[in-house]
């Protein structure tokens, strides 16, 4: 026992000996490159976030006097309106699936433009649900999601599930006396080939990203499942699940994948955060488009 305690004490001293304070040079110049995020979804209000890179010792800095121009099929749709704290909006979105777009942005010091094309429309044709025993997992609520993949393009997908439920306050007799309506994105998993081919899915459990490389132009049915307790208990009652399937442009697919890895690596003591990929040539961030379909599963 004394020997084990001595070894533990020495290990602790060794760890403390590895700590080194590195003073920050507050005078170091940081190139104030733009940070821009802008997503196009047909028939929705167009919004953008515009800021710039600042030294680690400073607070974030938003760009409120920038210029953001949006073109659809070569025709100017308008300049986005600044709303403060780096937020921009453009009312009257007329984008449709397979439209081309160009976004020009400038903060007076740096400028950039991004070209792209809105992906094909996506439609979930049906979902079969049941509770099954998943090997190595246990009881899980499974959803067999069927949709039609377009053969025209290489498609990049993201799938998520949102739960709407009542959370009840219970008295000492375990009776419901009050309730709060809540919504959350639940954890999901899947072992289909397109899922496991994307190694980035190991970094996140709230969404699955995959491509149509193995099923292009077909009508696949993929199984996803959740081990969260979705059936009614004294404290919780699920109202519905919204299964959301998105068809992404490739730059947005790469952005989500590398962002998930970056967030996971930030929480790891053994890995350095990797680079988050984007397509803003003179700065950071992503400007891209996607289509979306939402399928609702109602709980009774």
pLDDT in tens, 142-182: 999 999 999 989 999 999 999 999 999 999 999 999 999 99
CATH 2.60.40 at 34-117, yes or no: yes
Instruction: Dump pLDDT digits (tens) for 96-145.
Output: 999 999 999 999 999 999 999 999 999 999 999 999 998 888 899 999 99
Instruction: Dump pLDDT digits (tens) for 217-253.
Output: 999 999 999 999 999 999 999 999 999 999 999 999 9
What pLDDT, on the 0 to 100 scale, is given for residue 257?
98
Domain ranges of the chain: 34-117, 124-275+290-298
User: H or E element: which one contains 25?
Assistant: none
Instruction: Dump pLDDT digits (tens) for 260-285.
Output: 999 999 888 777 888 999 999 999 99
- Is 8's pLDDT higher than 80? no
User: Residue 158: which of 227, 244, 264 has the closest Cα?
Assistant: 244
- Is 83's pLDDT higher than 70? yes
Q: Distance between terminal CA atoms of the chain?
A: 59
Distance CA 280, CA 110 (A): 11
What pLDDT, on the 0 to 100 scale, is given for residue 7?
55
Classify 250 as helix, strand or coil.
Answer: helix
Distance CA 1, CA 9 (A): 12
Distance CA 91, CA 150 (A): 29
* Average pLDDT of the segment spanning 25-46: 84
Tokens at 244, concatenated:
């959301």
């Amino acid at each position: 026992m004394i020997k084990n305690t001595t070894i533990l004490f020495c290990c602790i001293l060794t760890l403390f000996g590895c700590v080194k304070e590195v003073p920050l040079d507050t005078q170091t110049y940081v190139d104030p490159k733009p940070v821009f995020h802008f997503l196009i979804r047909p028939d929705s209000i167009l919004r953008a976030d515009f800021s710039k890179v600042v030294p680690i010792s400073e607070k974030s800095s938003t760009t409120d006097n920038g210029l953001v121009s949006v073109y659809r099929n070569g025709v100017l749709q308008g300049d986005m309106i600044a709303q403060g704290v780096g937020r921009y909006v453009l009312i009257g979105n007329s984008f449709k699936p397979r439209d081309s777009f160009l976004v020009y942005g400038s903060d007076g010091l740096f400028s950039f433009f991004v070209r792209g094309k809105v992906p094909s429309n996506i439609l979930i044709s049906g979902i079969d649900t049941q509770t099954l025993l998943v090997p190595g997992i246990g009881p899980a609520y499974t959803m067999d999601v069927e949709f039609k993949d377009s053969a025209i393009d290489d498609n990049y997908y993201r799938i998520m599930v949102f739960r709407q439920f009542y959370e009840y306050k219970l008295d000492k007799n375990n009776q419901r006396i009050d309730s709060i309506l809540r919504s959350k994105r639940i954890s999901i998993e899947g072992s289909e080939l397109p899922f496991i081919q994307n190694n980035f899915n190991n970094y996140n459990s709230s969404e699955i990203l995959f491509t149509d490389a193995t099923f292009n132009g077909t009508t696949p049915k993929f199984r996803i499942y959740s081990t969260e307790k979705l059936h009614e208990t004294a404290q919780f009652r699920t109202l519905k699940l919204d299964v959301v399937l998105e068809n992404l442009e490739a730059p947005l697919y790469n952005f989500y994948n590398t962002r998930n890895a970056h967030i996971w690596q930030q929480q790891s003591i053994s890995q350095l955060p990797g680079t988050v990929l984007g397509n803003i040539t003179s700065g950071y961030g992503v400007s891209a488009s996607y289509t979306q379909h939402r399928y609702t599963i109602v709980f009774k």
